Structure 1
Amino acid sequence: MITSGRILERLKHDTAAHHAAAEQQLDLDNRLRNSAAYAALLGRLYGFYQPLETALGRVDGYEELGIHFEERSKALNLAKDLAALGQAIGSFPLCPAPRVPSLGDALGRMYVLEGATLGGRIVSRMVEARLGYTAERGGAFFTNYGDRVGAMWTAFRSALVQFATTPETEQQLVAAATDTFERFNSWLASTREVL
């Protein structure tokens, strides 16, 4: 159970504008208009997630906070979805990965990825209704964790509270989360007209 921890409120507050910008950049009405646009979106997301997850995977210390990093990978489901849609992952550009020098930096970046999984539940329903893709075929990314999404989010939030014990560790988390949102928004915006 999460005890206290102003870090959760601070992360939500300090990244709110970036989160809103990300939702605007996703432009789901446009990107779910047909299978080709959806595949292009998945390819763009893979290009962001794969290098970032590779960088995050090089950091030590997750286990001490109860986080099993491998089970939180989203790039694997993106690759699975792209394969189901007949797309080769090698045909999509990769975003330059940020430097991830510490566990605090990694957790701040993961905050963005883990939070996006919550919204994925809503998107998965849209994907199935509009395009017919399900978790079993073409929609695995947006259904990450399945019925465990709430428990996974709660466990991650608990890890953030456990980690953020000083003003310095709080600032690490917020700075990394903010930077990740900015990188994500720039990455989507840079090819908006192509998608």
Structure 2
Amino acid sequence: MTTDGVDGARPARGRRADGALAHVRAATAQAHEELDGGLDVLHRPWDVELHRRWLELTLGLLDPLEASLERWARTDPAALDVAARSRAGMAREDLRALGADGAAVDAVPLCPDAPTAAGRAQALGLCYVLDGSTLGGALIHRTAVAAGVPERACTSLVGRPGAGRRWRETAAAVDALGAPGDAAVEEMTATALAAFAAYRRWLAPLARTTA
């Protein structure tokens, strides 16, 4: 997973440099850097087998994270559109495009300790990480396709059209949550950190040090 270039180092237009978005970005910067540095997906040889393993492991995280967001959305009338953000089903189709049958796809292990969204603050923490990874996935998409991976097996990397707009919606919702130091903002930030930690643990088999 990478979100390099997703949000940039400077606050987006209309965003406060000392707001909740800036706070969660700063608080997760080291975790983000350690995750991307360990995977180094943009500077390593890519092939169909590595891509298959990437899809299996990311599916194992996306499925429980997105299921938790779906449960939240059913209880929050102001919830973000989690269906439009969902990529687990796309990852399953990507695996099928590589030749996996239904039984193999159904047997993909799911992360047992992925963070959950019991409320809006936690849900936004998950969306912050997941929406960022969707935008960053465009970089991995180019790497995979250039290496000969069929493009039809790369759909989950970029998600559905409108990823940039959805990221802006998430950023606005994060900033509207409150100010740094508020309980909701700290809860959102803690959940984002937990999501980065889950990604790092679960994707460890793909880390360059174990390749």
1:163 alignment partner in structure 2: 177
1:24 Cα deviation from its structure 2 partner: 2.3
Match of 2:157 among 142, 163, 179: 142
Q: Which runs of 5+ in 1 are unaligned?
A: none
Which 10-residue stretch deviates more, 34-43 or 51-60? 51-60
1:32 Cα deviation from its structure 2 partner: 5.3
Q: Work out whether 1:16 is the aligned partner of 2:33.
A: no
2:107 alignment partner in structure 1: 91
C-alpha distance after superposition, 1:67-89 (max 9, x if no partner): 21111101111111111111232
1:79 alignment partner in structure 2: 92
Match of 1:59 among 72, 81, 89: 72
Give me the whole-angstrom Cα distance separating, in 2, the residues matched to 1:110 and 1:98.
12
1:156 Cα deviation from its structure 2 partner: 1.4
Letter in 2 for 1:179: A
- Aligned Cα root-mean-square deviation (Å): 2.4
Return closer, same or farther for 1:62/1:151 CA change in 2, 3 Å cut-off.
farther
Give me the whole-angstrom Cα distance separating, in 1, the residues matched to 2:14 and 2:43.
38
Q: TM-score, normalised by structure 1?
A: 0.87
1:162 Cα deviation from its structure 2 partner: 2.0
Which 10-residue stretch deviates more, 77-86 or 29-38? 29-38
1:98 Cα deviation from its structure 2 partner: 2.8
1:128 alignment partner in structure 2: 145
1:29 Cα deviation from its structure 2 partner: 5.4
Which 10-residue stretch deviates more, 125-134 or 107-116? 125-134
2:40 alignment partner in structure 1: 27
C-alpha distance after superposition, 1:81-135 (max 9, x if no partner): 111111232232110133432121111112111111111111111111112422x
2:187 alignment partner in structure 1: 172
Q: Which runs of 5+ in 2 are unaligned?
A: 1-12
Return closer, same or farther for 1:173/1:144 CA change in 2, 3 Å cut-off.
same
Letter in 1 for 2:107: S
3-state SS, counterpart of residue 19 of structure 1: helix
